[in-house]
Amino acid sequence: MLRYPCLVLDHDDTVVQSTPTIHYPAFMATLNELRPDVRWSLEEFMQYSFEPGFEALCSELLGFTPEEMARQEENWRAFSLTHEPPMFPGMAELIRRQRARGGLVCAVSHSEADIIARDYVKNCGFAPDLIFGWEQGPGRRKPSPWPLQEIMRVYGLAPGQLLMVDDLKPGWQMARACGVPFAFAGWGSPVAAIHTFMRAGADHYFTRVEQLEELLVGCER
């Protein structure tokens, strides 16, 4: 019997290493166009994406207008369609094993559904059972609890039958709102403040993909 019949995965920097390869260079290109006086390191960008969060980063820290926000989304999508991030070592095998054992694999992310499906099909051979991406809009996009509520509704699952795996706060907030166990995916994050927060707040704190696999199969090494 699976410990968690439904594995709910964030995408960026949880399943694929996309911030260094896609999101950061794409956003820096946008800043060069819209805010040429702003220069952030990769670690600064990741820190701000954690706190205050990406949407607040754009609206509050940078003061993007709606037109500028649309422009950054356009730049990001164009970059995402022409660049494919690598999956973290061991992640494709973990996802395939979850499916092979009869488990569900769902994605809840701030990337768009077609990009997520593309990465899964290329690396795992199939798309997630359900995908909730950026296109859901503010009211249904994490940290809104709606994606997890919808997964539980569709499959008739209780909160304890899901495991939410994420590297940033919106996934943690969403899981907490629904009573769903939360695992921190720390293998892609170099930001000490994020690790400090998650070490204290997550149900499971991981720095290696193998640790997640150990939890899913209920074994210890």
Q: What is the pLDDT of residues 149-171, one digit of tens each?
A: 999 999 999 999 999 999 999 99
> What pLDDT was estimated at residue 220?
38
Mean predicted confidence (pLDDT) in 206-211: 97
Which residues make beta-bridge pairs with 104? 6
> Do 130 and 56 belong together in one domain?
no
> Do 119 and 150 belong together in one domain?
yes
If pLDDT is split at 50, 70 and 90, which confidence band does 140 have? very high
Burial class for 94, CB neighbours closer than 10 Å (0-12, 13-18, 19+): buried
Question: When comparing pLDDT for 54 and 4, which is higher?
Answer: 4
> Do 67 and 93 belong together in one domain?
no
Does residue 1 fall inside a structural domain? no
> What pLDDT was estimated at residue 197?
96
> What pLDDT was estimated at residue 24?
95
> What pLDDT was estimated at residue 45?
94
Q: Which structural domain, as residue segments, surrounds residue 49?
A: 19-82
> Do 61 and 93 belong together in one domain?
no
All residues at 6 or more sequence positions from 193 whose CB lies less than 8 Å from its CB, including other chains: 47, 50, 51
> Do 58 and 110 belong together in one domain?
no
The average confidence (pLDDT) of the chain is: 94
Does residue 58 fall inside a structural domain? yes
> What pLDDT was estimated at residue 138?
84
Question: When comparing pLDDT for 98 and 54, which is higher?
Answer: 98
24, 45 contact by CB (below 8 A) = yes
> What pLDDT was estimated at residue 95?
98
> What pLDDT was estimated at residue 80?
87
Q: What is the pLDDT of residues 29-52, one digit of tens each?
A: 999 999 999 999 999 999 998 888
> Do 72 and 95 belong together in one domain?
no
CATH number where 107 lies: 3.40.50.1000
* pTM, rounded to two decimals: 0.91
Share of the chain above pLDDT 90, in %: 87
If pLDDT is split at 50, 70 and 90, which confidence band does 145 have? very high
Mean predicted confidence (pLDDT) in 120-144: 95
Mean predicted confidence (pLDDT) in 190-199: 95
All residues at 6 or more sequence positions from 85 whose CB lies less than 8 Å from its CB, including other chains: 12, 16, 17, 18, 21, 22, 119
How many domains does the chain contain in total?
Answer: 2
> Do 40 and 52 belong together in one domain?
yes
> Do 65 and 92 belong together in one domain?
no
Does residue 203 fall inside a structural domain? yes
> What pLDDT was estimated at residue 219?
47
Quick one: which of 207, 204, 158 has its CA closest to 186? 207
